[in-house]
Amino acid sequence: MHILHVVGARPNFMKVAPVLRALKNRQGVTQTLVHTGQHYDPAMSAVFFEQLGIPNPDINLAVGSGTHAQQTATVMVRIEQVLQERTPDVVAVYGDVNSTMAAAVVSAKLGVRVAHIEAGLRSFDRTMPEEINRLITDQVADLLLTPSQDADANLLREGIDPSKIRFVGNVMIDSLVRLLPEAIRSVPAGTPSRYVLVTLHRPSNVDDCNTLERLVSVLCSMAKDTDVLFPVHPRTRARLNSTRKWPERLSLLDPLPYMEFLGLQQRAIAVVTDSGGIQEETTYLGVPCLTVRENTERPITVTMGTNTLVGTDPTVLTQELENVLQGNPKRGVRPPLWDGCSGERIADQLLTLDTHCVEQRSDN
């Protein structure tokens, strides 16, 4: 069985690593790894491959940045040629980035089976590009591997055939479980003992200068009382006022490698973020997370975990942060099957697809 994995952007890398490892030990499996090149800066890509132990991609489509249409279309044109040449049995796509949706659509049209890892998540907010990517990918996928049971319910509601849906747990947590001990050791000496860790990169928070400015003002007042560490995504960096004078206790950092960021998350008093993956990692780690969004496609992090949606109103963010700093953080538990074994379960399910392929071929 030939499985071709497609990844493109930073949050894909921690999801593909456990699946590649699990399949490596299975008999009769050939794997091809395609990097679309959606993320290309070493700090957004190469360092993650290195730390997560992902082999060098067999193919790099080098699509780079662009508008949504340009980026998606370039992935589509280039992946079509790869699929025609390599003829995989299954294409595995991850998460909800433009590369995920582009590869899924092209594979489906070529009649290649599509497995979607992290299927079924919904924010119900179609202004988010990722929500469009999730909806389309799940419609064309043959195997929908879900991280939590709310995702199964979403897919069933959308009329997806239940026989295609498998609850396998959260594969990104596999990477966390494996690398956490090393991550804890990699926190740089000189890191403050108490700090709030911040990430912001969603277009809805950073693309509009007024919204970004309101959020930045909260960070600046937060930094009067506590240290704030803010690794800045390139999208956000490009929009921050470069002449602004930053408070001494607010450290603007370059994007951090996986291990360093995980180590910092684990020791943070609180994390302020608009990322999807970080809402999940903080829930696993039991660290309070304040999510600067009106909605989340990962509601289990709110219902079971340590996540609180604070919206984009600075007063709510300030109040919730005060609560945490005064020693009243939200507590939570780990959701079912967030146990470090999802990669193996995904490998099992991908191989059932092989039997299915063989059965279908012999039927014809």
Active site residues: 201
CA distance 340 to 173: 6
Q: Which is nearer to ligand UD1, 96 or 281 (CB)?
A: 96
In the numeric block, the tokens 């030990």 are attached to 25
Kindly state the number of chain residues that form the binding site for ligand UD1, as judged by CB under 6 A.
19
From the CB of 242, what's the least distance to ligand UD1, in Å?
15
Is 97 a binder of ligand UD1 (CB under 6 A)? yes
Rounded Cα–Cα distance for residues 7 and 292 (Å): 26
Q: Is the CB of 98 or the CB of 291 nearer to ligand UD1?
A: 98
Nearest CA to 283 among 145, 172, 156, 122? Answer: 172
Stretch of 35-43, 78-86, 315-323, 355-363 contacting ligand UD1, by CB under 6 A: 35-43
- Binding to ligand UD1 (CB under 6 A) within 125-144 occurs at 129-130
DSSP 8-state secondary structure symbol assigned to residue 32: E
Instruction: Please select the residue that binds ligand UD1; options are 30, 56, 65, 81, rule is CB under 6 A.
Output: 65
Query: In terms of Cα–Cα distance, which of 63, 61, 58 is closest to 31?
Result: 58
CA–CA separation, 288 and 305 (whole Å): 9
CB of residue 181 to ligand UD1, shortest distance in Å:
25
Q: Nearest approach, Cβ of 356 to ligand UD1 (angstroms)?
A: 30
Binding mask 215-254 for ligand UD1 (x = CB under 6 A): ------------------xxx--x----------------
Q: Which runs of E-coded beta strand occur in the chain?
A: 2-7, 30-35, 59-60, 90-94, 113-117, 143-146, 165-167, 195-198, 227-231, 250-253, 270-273, 289-291, 307-309
Q: Does 73 bind ligand UD1 (CB under 6 A)?
A: no
- Asked if 314 touches ligand UD1 (CB under 6 A), the answer is no
Q: How far is the CB of 96 from ligand UD1 (least distance, A)?
A: 6
Q: Tell the smallest beta-carbon distance from residue 232 to ligand UD1 (Å).
A: 11
Find residue 93's DSSP bridge partners: 6, 116
Stretch that binds ligand UD1, among 36-44, 146-154, 296-304, 326-334 (CB under 6 A): 36-44
Sequence-distant contacts of 20-27: CB under 8 A, at least 24 apart = 20/54, 20/55, 21/53, 21/343, 22/343, 22/344, 22/346, 22/347, 23/347, 23/350, 26/347, 26/351
The residue within the footprint of ligand UD1, chosen from 5, 78, 201, 345 (CB under 6 A), is: 201
The verdict on 268 binding ligand UD1 (CB under 6 A) reads: no
Minimal distance in Å, beta carbon 202 to ligand UD1? 7
Q: Is 39 near ligand UD1 (CB under 6 A)? A: yes
Interface positions, 342-361, toward ligand UD1 (CB under 6 A):
none
Return all residues near 150 (Cβ < 8 A) that are at least 6 apart: 120, 299, 300
- Nearest CB to ligand UD1, comparing residues 229 and 351: 229
Closer Cβ to ligand UD1, 146 or 279, answer by number: 279
Q: Is 44 in the site for ligand UD1 (CB under 6 A)?
A: yes
Helix 258-267, helix 171-185: angle, nearest 10: 80
Residue among 118, 103, 149 nearest 12 (CA): 118
Residue of 3, 20, 34, 38 interacting with ligand UD1 (CB under 6 A): 38
Single residue of 30, 41, 241, 358 touching ligand UD1 by CB under 6 A: 41
Supply the minimum distance, in Å, between the C-beta of residue 364 and ligand UD1: 37
Contact 64/35 with Cβ under 8 angstroms? no
Sign of the alpha-carbon dihedral angle for 71, 76, 78, 83: positive
Alpha helices per DSSP H over 45-128: 46-52, 68-86, 98-109
CB of 44 vs ligand UD1, minimal distance in Å: 4
CA distances from 289 to 163, 198, 201, 281, 308 (A): 35, 10, 16, 9, 6
For position 257 contacting ligand UD1 by CB under 6 A, the verdict is: no
- Please report, as ranges, the residues that interact with ligand UD1 according to CB under 6 A: 9-11, 38-41, 44, 65, 96-98, 129-130, 201, 233-235, 238
